[in-house]
Structure 1
Amino acid sequence: MTDKNKSLNARHKAILKWLESDGLVRVEHMVRRYQVTEQTIRRDLTWLAQQRLITRLHGAAKPLNSTENIAYSDRQILHHRAKQKIAAAIAALIPDNASLFINIGTTTETIAHALMNHRGLQIITNNLHVAALMSQKTDFRVIVTSGEVRATDGGIMGEATLDFIQQFKLDYGLIGISAIDNEGTLLDFDYREVKVAQAIIEHSRQVFLAADHSKFGRKAMVRLGNLAQADRLFTDQAPPTDILGLMNDSDVALHICR
């Protein structure tokens, strides 16, 4: 755990959850809810913004929206309740004895936790955290891809990872994503990670895309693909109108996990 996370007090965590739920909250409303002074709230928001957990506005705050990804330890905190709901909905549709790819990300790690009551799963993953968790089940078969391990989050990437994935065809590809623009373009921050996700999509019979509401309209530089390549989208709030239209045109099933 980083020093940053150790410094999060109860009010900081409550503010993050509130922003996660409502998207934008005014300072005056926080003052009333937490029964503290406006100066205290402004200090809280300034600190959270310095840690790149939120975006400060004049008299308000909103969740972070940036072309740079935030630290892995911070992503574990943000939108965690939404991720749990998404994970439960996905797990409910995965049968016992299925084969699945699970890619890098805190959302897919939450999905892995939700799958621990299944039986007989066969998992290929480039996520060391997922592998460490799911290998605890003696009836699971867990295969870790080859490649270079990224120190920041235990993700495995590189040409060796691509070559490894291309040897398989599995029932499901469980994909997390950093951003979805209004044209349905799937976006991420690391070119090598994107190449691996593309390979997983290509070699999966069904693609389940997991994205909480903060991913809609967020900015990232690397194009992964298009929402039309997914069979199902799991999220916690209705997507923007443009994305809904694309999903209808492309026959992508929508699961709003509330």
Structure 2
Amino acid sequence: MSQSFRQPDILEIAHRDGKVTVEGLASHFGVTLQTIRRDLTELAEAGRLERVHGGAILPSNTTNIRYEERRSLNPAAKAAIARACAARIPNGVSLFLNIGTSTEAVARELLNHRDLMVVTNNMNVANILAGNPDCEIVVTGGHLRRTDGGLIGNLAESTIRQFKFDLAVIGCSALDRDGDILDFDIQEVSVSKAILKSGRKTFLVADHTKFSRSAPARIASLAEVDTFFTDGPLPAGLETACAEWGTEISMAGGARP
């Protein structure tokens, strides 16, 4: 297989898994380690990947990848995480769902819940939950970000502050290995902080690839989250930190306190 055919597949694997290894790719394509190293070097020089010891990760950036592309990343993992999260959301509660493909997945899993009140700054979430006749929907208002249907800005924040939700369910763009929850848009970060203050309990939904990404703006720490729903192991030391903080880790398919 020539490099021109390998490299799109390498990028697809990187987007799916958050990282690639030289040995794993060499085995996958049936080529030498040196051949894969050349591929990764070329992709790094083109800004498509960032080289690390033994492989490559998605590049750190100050801008997020396109929303439609994010929707296509790890759909099975997001669905499993969403099912686990929705299973912990009882009927008859108020909750907030923020912007993101993972929170959209949670919304789909709530279509059969009863007597819900959902506040959201995500037009996509509102449209999904419109299919549940037993769900009251409140949309915050605010500046519409056309790229992802998000509502941000002062109006969104002021609307959120009028509520006290039973649950705040949030997603994020990236997670630092020390447990910081990160995003790209400063205005969205301000809204997310208001959401955390208005929720009696907070759930974070994020797949394992978020640990392979970076974003410049800090929302909060996992220490401020009650339950973190994910699908893969946490970086070394972070699971211990979560236990010390009292943050529950729920793996898709099972949960661990």
TM-score bracket for this pair, using the shorter chain length: 0.7 to 0.9
Which runs of 4 or more aligned residues in structure 1 lie more than 2 Å from their structure 2 counterparts after TM superposition?
A: 11-23, 25-33, 49-52, 54-68
- Percent of counterpart pairs with the same letter? 37
Aligned twin of 2:246 = 251
- Give the direction of change, closer, same or farther, for the CA distance of 1:63–1:217 in structure 2 (3 Å limit): closer
The correspondence for 2:184, drawn from 189, 207, 227, is 189
- Mark the CA change 1:19 to 1:191 in structure 2 (over 3 Å): closer, same or farther: closer
Q: Secondary structure at the match of 1:207?
A: strand
Q: In the alignment, is residue 102 of structure 1 matched against residue 100 of structure 2? A: no
Normalising by structure 1, what TM-score? 0.82
- 2:26 aligned to which of 9, 15, 28: 28
Who is 1:88 aligned against? 83
Corresponding residue SS for 1:68 = coil
CA distances 1:77-98 after superposition (whole Å, capped 9, x unpaired): 1122211111010011011122
What is the TM-score when the length of structure 2 is the normalising length?
0.82
The size of the alignment, in residue pairs, is: 241
Q: Which residue number in structure 2 is paired with residue 215 of structure 1?
A: 210
CA drift of 1:25 comes to 4.2
Structure 2 residue aligned with 1:151 = 146
Call closer, same or farther: CA 1:50–1:217 in 2, change over 3 Å: closer
Kindly provide the CA deviation profile for residues 150-208 of structure 1, in whole angstroms up to 9, marking residues without a partner as x. Answer: 01111000101111000001111001011221222211100110111111111111100
CA RMSD between the two structures: 3.0
Provide the C-alpha distance between the structure 1 equivalents of 2:77 and 2:59, rounded to a whole number of angstroms: 16
Kindly report which structure 2 residues correspond to 1:1-258, keeping only aligned pairs within 5 A, or say none: 16=12, 20-21=16-17, 23-26=19-22, 27-32=25-30, 62-216=57-211, 218-258=213-253
Q: CA deviation at 1:21?
A: 4.1
- Cα gap change, 1:58/1:233 in structure 2, threshold over 3 Å: closer, same or farther? closer
Gaps of at least 5 residues in structure 1 are: 1-8
Partner residue, 1:4 = none
> Retained in 1: the 8 A contact 2:18–2:209?
no
In the alignment, structure 2 segments of 5+ residues that lack a partner are none
- Following TM superposition, by how much is the alpha carbon of 1:251 offset from its aligned partner in structure 2, in angstroms? 0.4
